[in-house]
């Protein structure tokens, strides 16, 4: 079975000179989910997707003229594999010298290759979602002005999470302070967290302390979001829950994993200023 340490992460890799779908590296989700207590084969307690924004997509048209575009890719959370980020960057770069007779031909090739890597149907569209309007335009109430002492930066500590069982609320909370580290290279990953829920009122100071406790934690983006979702679900018992993280760009790509209660519609596709 492939592991993150078998991938191109943390290793010097030659820039691809030709189209090469074998550059794509799948990482099975099962191992990390087992660590979170999700038994293999059991129904997942969430729905979701991993939405990628690609800012540096290039190829040649049928006459050899270079083309450039941005694109949005979406991998379902139900797929058996996630797509490792550096391998995705290298794969997209391998298209730079490849000829395609039409945009539809390029789209079909990317969908076929990424779906084979993920083990499930991947969506692809040219273009990017709009920029978010910020905290004053329906983007939730920020936790980041809370005054408190912080001294725990890893591992993530779900004991900080609690909720008031006497009050039921609908809230949309956000924080720009999520930071974790790549489990292979140790490089920092920065994100804004968007948490929507209905249920007992979550203690905001405790939630912020919990998010800050990821600061030195090493885990892939998708796995961090699943951990947050499950910890909040188990400790705070909301009737419905949505957790989205919008990670900052690296290598012309950013990722936006979302996990939500089964049957819950996904949040609108938006990009943050830091992306």
| Higher-pLDDT residue of 136, 94 | 94
Percent with pLDDT over 70 in the chain: 94
Residue of 113, 176, 182, 272 marked active site = 182
Q: Catalytic site residue 136?
A: no
Give the Å distances, CA to CA, from 65 to 54, 57, 61, 71: 20, 14, 5, 19
141-151 in b/e form (b: 16+ CB < 10 A) is: ebbeeeeeeee
Among 16-25, 115-124, 207-216, the minimum mean pLDDT is found in 16-25
DSSP one-letter code for 237:
-
Per-residue pLDDT band at 16 (split at 50, 70, 90): confident
Q: Can you tell me the distance from the alpha carbon of 20 to that of 75, in angstroms, rounded to the nearest whole number?
A: 20
Alpha-carbon dihedral angle through residues 230, 233, 234, 236, given to the nearest 10 degrees: 140
- Identify which of 189, 210, 211 has the alpha carbon closest to the alpha carbon of residue 255: 189
Give the Å distances, CA to CA, from 259 to 24, 62, 221, 225, 265: 24, 40, 12, 7, 10
**pTM for this one?**
0.93
> Can you give the pLDDT at residue 11?
52
32: three-class secondary structure by DSSP = helix
- Identify which of 199, 201, 231, 197 has the alpha carbon closest to the alpha carbon of residue 214: 231
Residue of 50, 113, 176, 189 marked active site = 189
Contact call for residues 75 and 114 (beta carbons, < 8 A): yes
Is the link from the previous residue into 122 a cis peptide, with omega within 30 of 0?
Answer: no
Q: Catalytic site residue 182?
A: yes
């Amino acid at each position: 079975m492939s592991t993150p340490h078998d991938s191109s992460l943390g290793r010097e890799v030659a820039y691809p000179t030709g189209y090469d779908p074998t550059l794509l590296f799948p990482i099975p989700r099962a191992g990390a989910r087992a660590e979170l207590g999700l038994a293999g084969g059991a129904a997942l307690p969430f729905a979701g997707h991993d939405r990628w924004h690609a800012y540096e997509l290039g190829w040649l048209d049928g006459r050899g003229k270079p083309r450039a575009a941005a694109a949005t890719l979406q991998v379902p959370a139900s797929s058996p594999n996630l797509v490792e980020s550096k391998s995705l960057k290298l794969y997209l770069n391998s298209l730079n010298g490849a000829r395609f007779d039409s945009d539809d031909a390029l789209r079909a090739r990317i969908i076929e290759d990424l779906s084979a890597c993920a083990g499930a149907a991947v969506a692809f569209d040219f273009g990017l979602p709009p920029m978010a309007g910020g905290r004053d335009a329906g983007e939730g109430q920020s936790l980041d002005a809370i005054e408190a002492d912080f001294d725990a930066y890893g591992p993530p500590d779900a004991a900080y999470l609690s909720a008031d069982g006497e009050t039921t609320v609908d809230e949309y909370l956000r924080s720009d302070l999520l930071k974790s580290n790549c489990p292979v290279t140790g490089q920092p990953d920065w994100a804004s967290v968007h948490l929507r829920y209905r249920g007992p009122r979550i203690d905001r100071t405790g939630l912020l302390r919990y998010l800050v406790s990821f600061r030195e934690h090493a885990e892939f983006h998708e796995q961090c979001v699943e951990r947050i979702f499950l910890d909040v679900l188990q400790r705070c018992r909301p009737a419905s829950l949505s957790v989205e993280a919008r990670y900052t760009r690296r290598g012309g790509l950013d990722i936006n994993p979302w996990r939500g209660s089964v049957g819950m519609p996904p949040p609108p596709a938006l990009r943050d200023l830091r992306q």
